[in-house]
Amino acid sequence: MKKIIVLLFTCLFCSFCPLVSADDFDVAAKNAIAFDVNTGKILYEKEATTPVPIGSLTKLLSAYLVYDAIKAEKITMDSQVEISEYALNLTTNYDISNLPLDKGSYSVEELLEASLIANANSATIALAEKIAGSEKKFVDLMKAKLKEWGISDAKIVNSTGLNNSHLGDNIYPNSKKDEENQLSAYDMALISYHLIKDYPQVLNITEKTSFNFDGLEVNSSNYMLKDMPSYRKGVDGLKTGISDQGGLSFIASANERDMRLITVVLNVENAEEDLKALFLATASIMDYIANNFVVTTLAEKGTPYEDSHISIINGSEDQIKVVASNDLNIIQRIGSDSEPKVTFKKNKQEFKAPLAAHTPIGTLSYKDTDLIGKGYLKEEPSITMETKKEVTQGFFLKVWWNNFVEYVNEKL
C-alpha cells in the first residue's frame, strides 16, 4: 500500500510539473552527462564522448588514488606528508588556486580536504609525491587506473589539472609546455562513479561548506550545499573545476527522488562572468531528470519474481520458488508504456537437496530498450535469485530410488 501511495503521489506531482522532453532540453554547457549511480543508467548527455580540457576536476581521480593507497595500507588519513620545494614554490603563484603551506608537514586528511574543497594544487602535488615518490610516477598510476576502467582517450600530464605553463621544469616527460589534462564528460562520469561506489566516505569531505586549514577558515566553492547561495536539497558534492583552456565546470552528486545522481557540466556558458551559472546549469539537469524519470522496483528483496521457481532432486519438496537477494530497481521515463523485459536464468539445469538458505540459484536480468548514449556506465541491472530457506533431503527411499534411476540411465 505504501508503494502505491508513493507512486500515486509521484504521478500527481508530475502532472503539475512542466515536463521537458529530451528533444527540447538543452543544458547551458558545451559537454554534459548525468547518470544514476545505483543503476548506472545514463539519463542525459550532450557531446559527452569528446575529450576536452577538464582542469581541476582532475583532482577527483587523484583523490581516488589517495583512497586506494589508504585501502592498501600504504598510508592513513593521519600519515604526515612533507612539503617539497616544488609544492612549496607553487604556493607563491597567485594565478592558481592554493592554500598557504610551509616547509613543515601536514596530514593526508588535511591535504585531501584542501585538494577537494579548496582546490589547492600544492596539496594535491604533495599527496601525489607521498604516494608515488614523484608526481611523474603518480601520473603513471593515474593513467594505469584509467586504462583499468576502460578509458583510452585520456590525456593526463599532471595530478592537478593545471596548465603545464604553471609548472616550470616540473612537467611530465615529453609533454608540451602548454598542455592540459583532457577527458570527456563520459570519462569524468566513470571516474565519479568509481569514486562514489568504491569510496563513499569521500562525501564526508565534499559535503562540507567550510573547513579549518592550519587556523584558516576556508569556504567551499560548491554553492549548492546546505546554507550556500544556490542550495539544493540532497546535494553533497562533488567538485567545481577551472581550466585555462576549458572554462568552468562542475560535477555534482545528489540524492534526488530515490536516485543517487551524478551530473557533469563542462565549460558552462557565462560561468566566468557569474559563478552561479555552474549551479543553474546543474539544477536544470536535475529538474529535467526529476520531472521525466522515476525509479521502479521490479523485484523486492526476499520475494519471488512472478513464476521464478526450480525443481529439486531428492528434496523434501519437489519444487520451490526462489527469491530476490536484493531489490531490483530500474529507472524508466515517466509515462512510458513499454513493458520491462526481465529474464530469469538458472545457474545450472539441476539442483539436488540439501540446499542451504540463500544458495545462489540464478540471475534475474533487466533489458533496457530506452537507452541514452551508451546506455549504462556498467551492465544493465541484475540481481541474484536464491533459496529463501533451507531445503532438506526427502525420505531416504525416495533419495535411494532417484540415485538408482540416475545410475541406470548413466551406466546402462
Quick one: pLDDT at residue 281? 99
Q: What is the amino acid identity at position 148?
A: E
pLDDT band of 350, cuts 50, 70, 90? confident
Strands 29-36, 259-268: pairing kind: antiparallel
Q: Give dist(CA 352, CA 347) in Å, integer.
A: 13
Q: Give dist(CA 113, CA 124) in Å, integer.
A: 10
Nine cell digits for residue 264 = 557533469
Quick one: pLDDT at residue 400? 52
The residue ranking higher by pLDDT, 12 or 255, is 255
Which helix (H) or strand (E) segment is 127 a member of? Answer: helix 121-132
Q: Give dist(CA 65, CA 312) in Å, integer.
A: 48
Strands 309-313, 351-352: pairing kind: parallel
In the annotated binding site for substrate, the residues are 239
| CATH number 2.60.410.10 given to 300-411 | yes
Quick one: pLDDT at residue 339? 84
Q: Is the pLDDT of residue 398 over 60?
A: no
Instruction: Give the chain's end-to-end CA distance (angstroms, integer).
Output: 57
Quick one: pLDDT at residue 3? 39
What average pLDDT does this structure show over 152-181? 98
Residue 253, beta-bridge partner list: 237, 262
Q: Is the pLDDT of residue 132 over 90?
A: yes
What average pLDDT does this structure show over 20-32? 85
Radius of gyration of the chain (CA): 26
The residue ranking higher by pLDDT, 390 or 178, is 178
Q: What angle do CA 78, 84, 89 make, to 5 degrees?
A: 125
What average pLDDT does this structure show over 381-405? 71
Q: Is the pLDDT of residue 334 over 80?
A: yes
Percentage of residues in the chain having pLDDT higher than 90: 81
Q: Is the pLDDT of residue 61 over 80?
A: yes
Q: Is the pLDDT of residue 7 over 50?
A: no
What average pLDDT does this structure show over 12-33? 70
Q: Is the pLDDT of residue 186 over 80?
A: yes
Strands 210-213, 182-183: pairing kind: unpaired
What letter would DSSP give residue 166?
G
Q: Give dist(CA 177, CA 50) in Å, integer.
A: 23
Q: Is the pLDDT of residue 275 over 90?
A: yes
Quick one: pLDDT at residue 311? 86
Percentage of residues in the chain having pLDDT higher than 70: 89
Residue 374 CB contacts under 8 Å (≥ 6 apart), including other chains: 42, 49, 186
What average pLDDT does this structure show over 46-63? 98
Q: Is the pLDDT of residue 394 over 70?
A: no
Quick one: pLDDT at residue 409? 63
- Structurally, at CATH architecture level, domain 24-291 sits in 3-Layer(aba) Sandwich (3.40)
Quick one: pLDDT at residue 312? 83
What mean pLDDT value characterizes the chain? 91
pTM > 0.85: yes
pLDDT band of 349, cuts 50, 70, 90? confident
Domain ranges, ordered by start, for the chain: 24-291, 300-411
Quick one: pLDDT at residue 392? 80
What average pLDDT does this structure show over 295-308? 94
Same fold across 24-291 and 300-411: no
Q: Is the pLDDT of residue 17 over 60?
A: no
- Picking from 93-107, 205-219, 330-344, 395-409, which range would have the lowest pLDDT averaged per residue? 395-409
pLDDT band of 340, cuts 50, 70, 90? confident
In the annotated binding site, the residues are 239
Q: Is the pLDDT of residue 200 over 60?
A: yes
Q: Is the pLDDT of residue 110 over 70?
A: yes
Q: Is the pLDDT of residue 123 over 70?
A: yes
What average pLDDT does this structure show over 214-241? 97
